Amino acid sequence: MRNRLTPYLFVSPAMLLLITFGIFPILVAAVISTTNMNISAFADWNNVEFIGIDNYTKLFADPDFWQAIGNTGLFAVFGVPAIVILSLGVALLLNHSQSRFFRSLRAFYFIPAITAIVAISLVWGYLYNTQFGLLNYLFSLVGVPQVQWLSDPILAKFSVALVAVWRGTGLNIIIFLAALQGVPKEYLEAASLDGAGEWKKTFSIVIPLMRFAIFFVSVTTTIAWLQFFDEPFVLTDGGPLGATTSASIFLYKEGFRLNQFGYASAGSIVLFAIIAVITLIQLRVRRADDDY
């Protein structure tokens, strides 16, 4: 009876926009990645030549690209667990009591998530500043010598990641808090009657029931780290000496600073492929987990 067109009518505005501004551009990028296109193309399109997979071979031989991929991997390996565990922990604690005090604390933890990156860069750049920044001052009060937050190649990785963790927890805490509402009270009461302590209840009842939320947060957080861009871009511009250059920053610099559009597009296709593969692996692992 139903008009068969109905679902298409509902879906099409959003799908049109997604295809126009999401799918189509990546196809364009795929085409560009097989050319030597740079900024001179805009003066005369005859300057563009098809060069096959040359960009890709050059990319895989580029030490800067590997450094960027390595940095991104490092950020993801430490960043994903940090954000997931921290958000989960805070959410569990916030859920401990439904009192007014506990609920009013939520807003504080959400502040970082809602702050614009431009504002974040200003505030943190100012906190980290080695001359008039507050962090070094506080450290100096307890006798710690000057810390080169953003200038030391190793520490800078930590510093930009710290800001990203700070910013990344807010939304995930909310998601976990929501998931915690879905844990049936009866289960917990039954466990209490059996004499289970808080610790045991959390680990053997609550966390297993939140499996899907944890999985969901892990997947979105992984994607976010693999696309890591904002914090190093505004705080260090990928420096010092490339120490905080993530894959996205590398692509951005090739594309917009050096105007090597063909080369940058090849890099972005590779990054897209990496993200897709990792996400698919995560989905597979979860499915296997469910079967079990």
Q: Closest distance between another protein and the C-beta of residue 10, in Å?
A: 4
In the complex, least distance from residue 226 CB atom to another protein, rounded to whole angstroms: 8
Alpha carbon distances (Å) from 193 to 130, 181, 190, 289: 56, 21, 5, 30
**Least gap, CB of 198 to another protein (angstroms):** 7
Contact 84, 127 (CB under 8 A): no
DSSP assignment letter at 87: H
Residue 46 DSSP one-character state: G
Query: Among residues 214, 211, 208, 206, which one has the least CA distance to residue 173?
Result: 214
- Could you tell me the end-to-end alpha-carbon distance of the chain, in angstroms, rounded to an integer? 41
Q: Which CA distances in Å does 137 have to 20, 66, 99, 133, 134?
A: 50, 37, 36, 7, 5
CB atoms within 10 A of CB 33: 24
Q: How far is the CB of 53 from another protein (least distance, A)?
A: 18
How many C-beta atoms lie closer than 10 Å to residue 85's C-beta?
A: 12
Smallest separation, CB 149 to another protein (Å): 8
Residue 77 or 280: the one with the smaller Cβ distance to another protein is 280
DSSP state of 41: G
Place of tokens 């504080």: 108
Smallest separation, CB 23 to another protein (Å): 6
Rg (CA), the chain: 24
**Smaller CB distance to another protein: residue 79 or 255?**
255
Rank residues 84 and 90 by Cβ distance to another protein and give the closer one. 90
How far apart are alpha carbons 152 and 155 in whole angstroms?
5
